[in-house]
Structure 1
Amino acid sequence: MPHSPNSGLTRRQLLRAASLGIMAGPALAACRIGAGTSSTGGTGAIKIGFVSPRTGPAAGFGEPDGYVLDLARQAFASGLTLGGTKFDVQIIDKDSQSNPQRSAQVANDLINGDGVDLMLTTSTPETVNPVSDACEAAGVPCVSTVVPWEAWYFGRGAKPDQKQAFQYTFHFCFGVEQFHNAYQTLWSQVDTNKKVGVMWPNDSDGNAIRQALGPLLTKSGYTIVDPGAYTDGTNDFSSQIARFKAENCEIFNAFPIPSDFATFWRQAAQQGYRPKIAQIAKTGLFPSQVEALGPIGVNIAGGAYWTPTYPYTSSLTKVTSQQLGDGYQKSAGKQWNQQLGPSLALFDVAAAAFQAVTDPKDRKGLARAIGTLDVQTPVGRLQWGKGPNANVVAAPILGGQWIAAPAGSPYKVDFVLCDNSSDPNVPVAAKLHPYTA
């Protein structure tokens, strides 16, 4: 991805952020990740908690956190003026370690120890759901993302007929409908027998997908071959592979944790299972995960909830999606990571939520404001009140493929979008090629 001369946050962009009431300044150098400092001199402090997996099995999601947190702290550096009162803004970030118990613990620490006014959390049910539950129980507003919304909503006990199951917790993310749209569009680009071997685990993601996506695919003419839910951490997939080979499953679909897919995919290669389409979700999202597989990672199909080609801009920082990706590559020396978009979007939502109230310490008022927000973010426009329920905005997930990077690229693989069924504003770059090509 070429570098833009305007990558990252410019002074002009920061000054334009004043239209949100956010005056950015040069205080970024004084901000330490985790220190939660932003500016001095205000009459009070707004505290924002941020919980994500920086280590553990889901650490790929947390890879760009440092860069996003720097952008957010820089944008909030001079604080917020709400109802004529100046507030400093502190961002306190915690590592969930990809562990549900740890997620709940750090959430409660942020609530009870740090006294956060708003919680932000992202990436997999193992992190997001325990944090959301802790906030709902404590009456602390929380916004979350990057968990299929059904796994977040129903996985936390909501019933299908409930239009607002939660008062303090809100979410934006793709759901089963968006997966179904993407898969139908992608899979029709390759000639197959429409038999799909699935590896859907016994966890919040897997159970939600089995209950909702399976029937939709069946209705669309696909035959689902499901060997049954498996336990996260399984290290022998021989029986599943044998079933897929016996049934001649030319499409493979999985929602595994990264380590489980790596184990499965290496065993599949050893045992001669090579489907025409290998459609992976929850892992295979980031270049580091695909590169770790070596040659068998090339041509895997995946989903994208953000890429630098999204035609959207952060309302907080005024950084475009292209600038966000380019700035990260220049700053971190790593290939862009699709988690950049939704993580920055969380802070767009936070800024808009505080702008919608006069008292940021009024938790009920802040929660009510979130439920009516209309916010422009790198992942697109988020409008609460128009989603599948009052707590959720259903955001796009688009389909694409990991291909070998072109000659001269500093990277080993590249991700190209092959589907825009959930957001036609995002350009398609290529057609899906068979995995075995």
Structure 2
Amino acid sequence: MSDSGWGVGRERVLTVGVVVARTGRLTSLGDPLDFVMTLLAPELAAAGPRGFRVRLAGRDSRSSADGARQAVKELVQDENASIIVTLAGTQVLPAVADACESVGVPCLSSTFPWQVYYYGRGADAARPFDWTYHFCWGLDDIAGTFADLWEQACGAGRQTVGCLWNDGPQGDWSRHPEHGFAPAARDRGHRLVEPVPYREPAVDLGRHIQEFRDAGAAVVTSAATGQDLALFRAQAAEIGWQPRLITCSRWLAYPPSSTISGRQSAQADVATLVYWTPGHPYRSSLDGTTPAQLAETYEQLTGRQWLQPLGLAYALFEVAAHALATADDPTDRRSVAAALGSSRLDTIAGPLDWTSGPVPNIATVPLAGGQWQPGTRHDYELAVVTPGGAQGLRVTGDLRTA
């Protein structure tokens, strides 16, 4: 007997459940997912396997792990979801995935370095997950992209890099001796200066700044919040010290905003990751929509600047529709999970391939290097300054350094 799929009269329905942050601190990440969900609902209705209509059902994670678990419970029990998708943060995404693994429903997620998703949830080569799948870049990919930026800013050869790590999951995984950012950066030949991790939100980063200056750090790298990054830059300026370049991987998917009144935006001229832009040479598997068209639609309908997570959010629904359409039995959740695990699909976020990932359950997304620079259409725009692993992506700006 199938455990998913239901119908009214002769119509059979498959439900894609969406765990989305509509309230709380992660609403900026929930916004692109909510937008794409609304945008694609009519199109996805006809994108299912023959004889089925696909519907979308959302639940608010409330930006918390408990809210995420409750959302999964409601989507399974009340909506009979065939598959669940999400974009979420450090605490929320694992809660969604673990809840799906526990109840036996396929889950697809993104925006989380794959090592944290995989090893952080207890999987290994001998024990992969049964129900949960993910696509993203890795901590080693971040290190490689940032090393390209450091070397472009300061020249080839060994650089001294100050590491502004917190004492939370971002800092812990950045420092992880086997799967983290730090060992991959050292493998590129760079020297890392790692003071004692700070507690979020930071109150005083003077000790870190002093250690970086004393060590002769030319660049600083971090996974800080915008608030803590702004504090770091303000305190460094107070003592007359400025690194040649700052690289940061957290929250830099979003356009710069001032986090301390009267001071320079925390993100301005900070180099970061580029995983999706209007200039990426991809197309949607659903209807051929390009990144440029999706970004323009978002800006026209919302009045806000496009966001990098838009591409990943859109790809979630592409892959979910593909899994339902290719499953041997789309009403059987285990069959849908198997289809996810064998998916190879060209999406608006690029080619995604779960058959050749670094570990089971994972497909990777290529990274380029970028920097938030003063723009023409917007106050700040994300310039692509190194193409990295994103084939066909055009460089749109020169790296700005202090």
Shared fold (TM-score greater than 0.5)? yes
- Pair 143,236 (structure 1): closer, same or farther in 2 beyond 3 Å: same
Q: 2:138 aligns with which of 165, 175, 180?
A: 175
Distance 2:285 2:126 in 1: 28
Q: Which runs of 5+ in 2 are unaligned?
A: 1-6
Whichever residue aligns with residue 302 of structure 1, its letter is T
Whichever residue aligns with residue 145 of structure 2, its letter is A
Equivalent pair of 1:417/1:430 in contact (CA under 8 Å): yes
Equivalent pair of 1:148/1:175 in contact (CA under 8 Å): yes
- Pair 100,271 (structure 1): closer, same or farther in 2 beyond 3 Å: farther
Q: 1:295 aligns with which of 264, 281, 295?
A: 264
Q: Residue by residue, what CA displacement relative to the aligned partner does 1:346-399 show, whole Å, maximum 9, x if unpaired?
A: 000011000112432211111111100011111111011101111101211211
Q: Give the drift of 1:295.
A: 2.6
Q: Give the drift of 1:244.
A: 2.0
Distance 1:54 1:194 in 2: 42
- Pair 116,232 (structure 1): closer, same or farther in 2 beyond 3 Å: farther
**How many percent of aligned residue pairs carry the same amino acid?**
30
Matched, 1:190 2:153: yes
Distance 2:154 2:194 in 1: 21
Matched, 1:80 2:45: no
Matched, 1:431 2:398: yes
Q: Secondary structure at the match of 1:114?
A: coil
Q: Residue by residue, what CA displacement relative to the aligned partner does 1:396-424 show, whole Å, maximum 9, x if unpaired?
A: 12111111113xx3x11111101122122
Q: Secondary structure at the match of 1:48?
A: strand
Q: Secondary structure at the match of 2:78?
A: helix
Q: Give the drift of 1:313.
A: 0.8
Q: Which residue of 2 aligns with 1:245?
A: 213
Matched, 1:218 2:193: no
- Pair 346,163 (structure 1): closer, same or farther in 2 beyond 3 Å: farther
Residue correspondence of structure 1 range 316-395 to structure 2 within 5 A: 316-395=286-365
Q: Which residue of 2 aligns with 1:106?
A: 71
Q: Give the drift of 1:250.
A: 1.8
Equivalent pair of 1:158/1:165 in contact (CA under 8 Å): yes
Q: Secondary structure at the match of 2:264?
A: helix
Residue correspondence of structure 1 range 147-186 to structure 2 within 5 A: 147-159=112-124, 162=125, 165-186=128-149
Distance 2:233 2:77 in 1: 43
Matched, 1:419 2:382: no
Q: Residue by residue, what CA displacement relative to the aligned partner does 1:152-174 show, whole Å, maximum 9, x if unpaired?
A: 00111123xx1551010001000
Equivalent pair of 1:382/1:395 in contact (CA under 8 Å): yes
Distance 2:239 2:80 in 1: 53
Equivalent pair of 1:46/1:90 in contact (CA under 8 Å): yes
- Pair 387,299 (structure 1): closer, same or farther in 2 beyond 3 Å: same
Q: Which residue of 1 aligns with 2:200?
A: 232
Equivalent pair of 1:71/1:317 in contact (CA under 8 Å): no
Q: Secondary structure at the match of 1:49?
A: strand
Q: Give the drift of 1:333.
A: 1.0
Distance 1:44 1:258 in 2: 46
Q: Secondary structure at the match of 2:56?
A: strand
Q: How many residues align?
A: 388
Q: Secondary structure at the match of 1:386?
A: coil
Distance 1:177 1:321 in 2: 26
Whichever residue aligns with residue 128 of structure 2, its letter is A
Q: Give the drift of 1:259.
A: 3.8
Equivalent pair of 2:161/2:220 in contact (CA under 8 Å): yes
Equivalent pair of 1:42/1:79 in contact (CA under 8 Å): no
Q: Give the drift of 1:119.
A: 0.6
Which has the larger displacement, 355-364 or 278-287?
Answer: 355-364
Distance 2:61 2:241 in 1: 35
Whichever residue aligns with residue 368 of structure 1, its letter is A
Whichever residue aligns with residue 329 of structure 2, its letter is D
Whichever residue aligns with residue 186 of structure 1, its letter is L
TM-score (norm 1): 0.83
Distance 2:214 2:161 in 1: 12
Q: Residue by residue, what CA displacement relative to the aligned partner does 1:230-289 show, whole Å, maximum 9, x if unpaired?
A: 3333333232223223323221111124443344444444444421111011222211x4
Equivalent pair of 1:185/1:419 in contact (CA under 8 Å): yes
Equivalent pair of 1:151/1:205 in contact (CA under 8 Å): no
Q: Which runs of 5+ in 1 are unaligned?
A: 1-38
Equivalent pair of 2:19/2:59 in contact (CA under 8 Å): yes
Distance 2:294 2:257 in 1: 22
Distance 1:105 1:267 in 2: 42
Residue correspondence of structure 1 range 43-122 to structure 2 within 5 A: 43-78=11-46, 80-82=48-50, 86-122=51-87
Q: Residue by residue, what CA displacement relative to the aligned partner does 1:5-31 show, whole Å, maximum 9, x if unpaired?
A: xxxxxxxxxxxxxxxxxxxxxxxxxxx
Equivalent pair of 2:146/2:272 in contact (CA under 8 Å): no
Q: Secondary structure at the match of 1:189?
A: helix
Equivalent pair of 1:125/1:152 in contact (CA under 8 Å): no
Q: Secondary structure at the match of 2:115?
A: helix
Whichever residue aligns with residue 389 of structure 1, its letter is V
